[in-house]
Chain A
Amino acid sequence: MTFPGSLDDRDALRAVRLAGAEPVPLWHGEKWLSDVQAVVLPGGFSYGDYLRCGAIARFSPAMESIIDGANKGMPVLGICNGFQVLCEAHLLPGALIRNDHRKFVCRDQRLRIENVDTPWTSLYRPGEEILIPLKNGEGGYVADHRTLDELEGEGRVVARYLGDNPNGSYRDIAGISNKAGNVVGLMPHPEHAIEDLTGPSTDGLTFFASVLTSLVGQA
């Protein structure tokens, strides 16, 4: 899905392709999602991150169909800015705020996969540690304590930061899912860790391979 200001849309297409699926570029202004079976909302600065990150993109015509699809169980992955859009669209709880150190940060980040029961993480081993790039200015995940307890209690924390917390996220949360598990938001960038040549690892490819396997399994 490309919004005006999306940046990692080509990277997401490449990741889907390298995982063996057929990538379909989507445009935010078109309401119908043709016949795609899963959607990736990529990183970037949709609408310049003006107002609030993701706050304007959330009202794009295509988002209606995505919200509808997500509620019917279609796998949706929001990466970075895409995660922010999902929070703004209330598909995921909480919000993402400016990094506690107030600087943009780009680094290779270690994560622990906490939940392998989502279609996006099913091929990881429980507790698997992975290394993928993190890059954001507003990546601090916040929510009230009740929501956080609920997320923990229902096993909806999908990934957690290891080592130094890079942005002040509560409880080191790097990614979460909705109740059904089909909608996942993730701050770091698995689509930048899919080739030895360009990434710090190929650990990110498993997100895309997982969803392909889940979908093929259903068919």
Chain B
Amino acid sequence: MSEYVVDTIEAAAADPDAEQPFKQLGLAPEEYQRIKDILGRRPTGSELAMYSVMWSEHCSYKSSKVHLRQFGDKVPAAAKDILLVGMGENAGVVDVGQGLAVTFKIESHNHPSYVEPHQGAATGVGGIVRDILTMGARPVAVMDALRFGPADAPDTARVLPGVVAGVGGYGNCLGLPNIGGELSFDRSYLGNPLVNALCVGVLPADGIKLAKADGPGSHVVLFGARTGGDGIGGASVLASASFEAEGERKRPAVQVGDPFAEKVLIECCLEIFGADLVTGIQDLGAAGLSCATTELAAAGTGGMDVDLDRAPLRDETLVPEEILMSESQERMMAVVAPDKLEAFMAICAKWEVTATVIGTVTDTGRLVMRWHGETIVDVPPRTLAHEGPVYERPIRRPYDQDALNGEHGNGLPRPKNGEQLRATALKLVGSPNLADKSWVTDQYDRYVLGNTVLAQPEDSGMIRLVEAADGGRQLGIALAVDGNGRYTRLDPYAGAQLALAEAYRNVATTGARPLAVTNCLNFGSPEDPAVMWQFAEAVRGLADGCQQLGIPVTGGNVSFYNQTGTTAILPTPVIGVLGVIDDVERRTSQAFVGDGAQLYLLGDTADEFGGSEWADVAHGFLGGRPPKVDLAREQLLADILINASRDGLIDAAHDLSDGGLFQAVAESCLRGDAGVRLIVPEGIDPFVFLFAESAGRAVVAVPRSEEVRFTDMCTARGLPAQRIGVLDILESAIEVQGQFRIPLSELRVAWSRTLPELFG
């Protein structure tokens, strides 16, 4: 790099019209002009690099901001008491009682995972874990929501095993249990898989750390891994521009993860937090040092001086622009008061973590960076961190939306007799979206830390927070993530609410009270007005839904440009709901146990097959309307499930969603290794009874001794509860009376062989 000449403030003033590669860095001409207006001169190369990454879609939310405001505007009144940190920080924090707080967030790593499945997915986990750590919390579990192209597509065979190994390899090595998630397939994800990773952490309610550089004279310390050339331009190049056949060329832009370095960094940070040695902290994720320095400075006293040449490098040839954009993993930046620096450095030395003072907090209102004494950056940090461009993108309902909703598919041939129903049941159970996911989840450690009460395939993952001696109440949390791209394609407003309702219901099914929401909004290009309509509708649906359910959105992530050519993915909001349970001993599993227990179907079943698994698997059809949303009913159902769990009225519960009643019953039977006899109630078509996907439903197993109390409670509260069968452990089959019978052994083979046959 001998020809490289560092571009300084003086050089920029002396040569105001020098041509700069703003377009290649993803900046629009008007954005470039605005930078010049802010600075009163052309930016230096380093400043241009910083603006380009900070003003990218990924970091600035410039297309989504005007919509996301609703999450803040519509925070339910009741939720304000528990919300300790809301949107805008690294992750939201909620109060769960007993002096503890919980922070959680879901984030996408879609494009990197397509280019380099293993590293892309691994660093997706690493990034979200650091977000949680940055809040001052010990990370305690992860989840992953994955979507791929058709299960039998050759490229899925390339991408899926790599992603699973990446999620597992990183999470396992960090010692974080993976407690659940999602896996589904659709052709729209073929060139653009979705890899959404969630992390949850626990901290003392009074121990929250924020990303702010307060106190002039405090030290700015960069610690963790050295900065290398990986992931340069990742934020702006990968996350903000769609790609097609260029995958190979972009490989170097994907970061490389080192989970051991992150594990050591976690323990080091937690020891530092415990000793109360930092006034502010920020992780280095997308946009690396650019993001950490500007966000810390903008949120604190207002200024910072940095000697960029002090940053420890893995590759000595890196130039300032590259150092500022590098997305090397496992790095953190802390603001440390002068009298605490020695203790801070001692802890870093104990954990063999490299730590370097690279700057000082000031009150000048400027972020100034020097490179071997020469000034290369002098900017107002707020203009990068908070005052980026904001766009009101054009919105237009897709041309085909009416036609899509009009083709309701009511004429599709349906199974007519017991034999055909049986064949449909087996086909659905073995379809990739509904089949056993243990090929994936057996590659994830669910036991580490010893607090996993429930994990996949249960309705929600559950973690114990407080251990208590015999009989003491053990506080815990539950988490579920859900999304349904087909429902959202048919009606984005309802689709987002259905995803929310399902995650909410899943949490309640295990006995926990839903508390707060995180979301990962995966959509196509915001420059396509039809995609923007889907996005706007989904955000409105989600914000309205959260308001009605009384649970706030605490944070999340938007991922745009998920498309192949001009074809966008199915709009896919993935919603995570966090719940709290007073005593994890009272949790409810989906496993059917307890001979003679009565099965009750809670909620109403209607002839609803729009966007259903059956329509997709049997006919490859997508059209009509998604199931009706009734959030008041969801609340009532959740109340009943939580109370029944707490009072010991039910032995098992499972929510009804994709695939309908039969799928839920099959999963519960296989989990508990128990058979059932089902009775199709009077007045309902057996096909609709077994496979419709009406929302707001669950199936529960009620011990005979509690039957009266349980049904009385449902009657008193006005929740439809219909007896649909009985558990029979000697039977070892699912028998639908008058229709068909499937031995559990046959069902298990059909359910569990699909993924191993596809992926080895």
The residues of A with any CB-CB pair to B shorter than 8 Å are: 4-5, 7-8, 10-11, 14, 29, 43-45, 47-50, 103-107, 133, 135, 137, 189, 191-192, 194-195, 197-199
Contact B264 A191 (CB under 8 A): no
Complex Cα distance A104/B443, Å? 5
8 A-B Cβ contacts within 8 A?
A8-B175, A11-B450, A44-B175, A106-B442, A106-B444, A107-B442, A191-B450, A192-B450
Q: Which of A7, A47, A133 contacts B175 (CB 8 A)?
A: A7
B423 CB-CB contact with A under 8 Å = no
Contact A198 B173 (CB under 8 A): no
Q: A106-B443, A106-B446, A135-B445 are in contact. Are A48 and B451 (CB under 8 A)?
A: no
Within 8 A of A (CB), among B442-476: 442-453, 464, 467, 474
Contact B584 A197 (CB under 8 A): yes
Looking at the complex, which of B115-123, B226-234, B254-262, B391-399 is the stretch in contact with chain A?
B254-262
Q: What DSSP secondary structure best describes chain B's contact surface? A: mixed
B169 CB-CB contact with A under 8 Å = yes
Contact A198 B352 (CB under 8 A): no
Bitwise interface map of B from 680 to 705 toward A, beta carbon under 8 Å scored 1, else 0: 00000000000000000000000000
- What are the residues of chain B within 8 A of A44 when measuring CB–CB? 175
Bitwise interface map of B from 346 to 360 toward A, beta carbon under 8 Å scored 1, else 0: 000011100000000
Complex Cα distance A43/B445, Å? 12
Contact A5 B451 (CB under 8 A): no
- What are the residues of chain A within 8 A of B449 when measuring CB–CB? 10-11
Complex Cα distance A88/B396, Å? 65
Q: Which of A5, A29, A104 contacts B264 (CB 8 A)?
A: A5
Q: A104-B169, A106-B447 are in contact. Are A45 and B442 (CB under 8 A)?
A: no
Complex Cα distance A165/B263, Å? 30
Residue of chain A at shortest CB distance from B161: A103
B309 CB-CB contact with A under 8 Å = no
Bitwise interface map of B from 259 to 289 toward A, beta carbon under 8 Å scored 1, else 0: 1110110010000000000000000000000
Complex Cα distance A189/B447, Å? 9
Min CB gap B76→A, angstroms = 32
B168 CB-CB contact with A under 8 Å = yes
- What are the residues of chain B within 8 A of A197 when measuring CB–CB? 453, 464, 474, 584-585
Contact A105 B442 (CB under 8 A): yes
Complex Cα distance A10/B446, Å? 15
B530 CB-CB contact with A under 8 Å = no
Complex Cα distance A199/B455, Å? 11
Contact B448 A7 (CB under 8 A): yes
Complex Cα distance A48/B260, Å? 5
B145 CB-CB contact with A under 8 Å = no
Contact A47 B260 (CB under 8 A): yes
B165 CB-CB contact with A under 8 Å = yes
Complex Cα distance A48/B444, Å? 17
Complex Cα distance A10/B174, Å? 14
Q: A45-B259, A106-B442, A106-B447 are in contact. Are A198 and B452 (CB under 8 A)?
A: yes
- What are the residues of chain B within 8 A of A43 when measuring CB–CB? 448
Contact A11 B260 (CB under 8 A): no
Residue of chain A at shortest CB distance from B452: A198
B110 CB-CB contact with A under 8 Å = no
Contact B173 A45 (CB under 8 A): yes
Complex Cα distance A167/B169, Å? 17
Contact B453 A4 (CB under 8 A): no
Contact A45 B263 (CB under 8 A): yes
- What are the residues of chain B within 8 A of A103 when measuring CB–CB? 165, 443
Min CB gap A85→B, angstroms = 15
Min CB gap B212→A, angstroms = 30
- What are the residues of chain B within 8 A of A135 when measuring CB–CB? 172, 445, 447-448
Contact A198 B464 (CB under 8 A): yes
Residue of chain A at shortest CB distance from B353: A4
Complex Cα distance A4/B350, Å? 10
Contact A106 B445 (CB under 8 A): yes
Min CB gap B345→A, angstroms = 17
Complex Cα distance A45/B451, Å? 19
Complex Cα distance A157/B80, Å? 59
Complex Cα distance A103/B352, Å? 30
Min CB gap B721→A, angstroms = 29
The residues of B with any CB-CB pair to A shorter than 8 Å are: 165, 168-169, 172-175, 258-261, 263-264, 267, 350-352, 441-453, 464, 467, 474, 584-585
Residue of chain B at shortest CB distance from A9: B175
Count of inter-chain pairs, beta carbons less than 8 A = 90
Contact A192 B442 (CB under 8 A): no
Min CB gap A46→B, angstroms = 9
Contact A133 B169 (CB under 8 A): no
Min CB gap A68→B, angstroms = 24
Contact B260 A50 (CB under 8 A): yes
- What are the residues of chain A within 8 A of B474 when measuring CB–CB? 197
Contact B450 A14 (CB under 8 A): yes
Complex Cα distance A8/B264, Å? 14
Contact A104 B172 (CB under 8 A): yes
Contact A4 B259 (CB under 8 A): no
Known contacts A10-B450, A49-B173, A198-B452; 11 further A-B pairs (Cβ under 8 A): A4-B267, A14-B450, A44-B175, A45-B173, A45-B259, A48-B259, A106-B444, A135-B448, A197-B584, A197-B585, A198-B453
Residue of chain B at shortest CB distance from A196: B585
Complex Cα distance A7/B139, Å? 13
Complex Cα distance A45/B263, Å? 10
- What are the residues of chain B within 8 A of A192 when measuring CB–CB? 447-448, 450
Residue of chain A at shortest CB distance from B584: A197
Min CB gap B177→A, angstroms = 10
Min CB gap A30→B, angstroms = 11
Residue of chain A at shortest CB distance from B448: A7
Min CB gap B349→A, angstroms = 11
Contact A11 B259 (CB under 8 A): no
- What are the residues of chain A within 8 A of B451 when measuring CB–CB? 198
Complex Cα distance A155/B703, Å? 48
Complex Cα distance A73/B679, Å? 65
- What are the residues of chain B within 8 A of A8 when measuring CB–CB? 175, 448, 450
- What are the residues of chain B within 8 A of A133 when measuring CB–CB? 447
Q: A10-B450, A44-B175 are in contact. Are A105 and B443 (CB under 8 A)?
A: yes
- What are the residues of chain A within 8 A of B165 when measuring CB–CB? 103-104
Contact B450 A45 (CB under 8 A): no
- What are the residues of chain A within 8 A of B447 when measuring CB–CB? 11, 106, 133, 135, 189, 192, 198-199
Residue of chain B at shortest CB distance from A17: B467
Complex Cα distance A44/B453, Å? 21
Min CB gap B33→A, angstroms = 47
- What are the residues of chain A within 8 A of B351 when measuring CB–CB? 4
Min CB gap B443→A, angstroms = 5
- What are the residues of chain A within 8 A of B450 when measuring CB–CB? 8, 10-11, 14, 191-192, 194-195, 198
- What are the residues of chain B within 8 A of A5 when measuring CB–CB? 173, 260, 263-264
Residue of chain B at shortest CB distance from A7: B175
Select the residue from A4, A11, A189 with max chain B CB neighbours within 10 A.
A4
Residue of chain A at shortest CB distance from B175: A7
Q: A4-B352, A192-B447 are in contact. Are A48 and B258 (CB under 8 A)?
A: yes
- What are the residues of chain A within 8 A of B261 when measuring CB–CB? 48
- What are the residues of chain A within 8 A of B453 when measuring CB–CB? 197-198
Q: A47-B260, A50-B260, A104-B169 are in contact. Are A11 and B352 (CB under 8 A)?
A: no
Contact A45 B168 (CB under 8 A): no
Complex Cα distance A22/B668, Å? 40
Complex Cα distance A135/B350, Å? 29
- What are the residues of chain A within 8 A of B467 when measuring CB–CB? 14
Complex Cα distance A104/B441, Å? 10
Complex Cα distance A100/B264, Å? 29
Min CB gap A27→B, angstroms = 9
- What are the residues of chain A within 8 A of B464 when measuring CB–CB? 197-198
Name the 9 nearest CB pairs between A and B, nearest first: A48-B260, A7-B175, A192-B447, A11-B450, A45-B173, A104-B443, A133-B447, A135-B445, A106-B445
- What are the residues of chain B within 8 A of A47 when measuring CB–CB? 260
- What are the residues of chain A within 8 A of B445 when measuring CB–CB? 104, 106, 135
Min CB gap B631→A, angstroms = 32
Complex Cα distance A66/B258, Å? 29
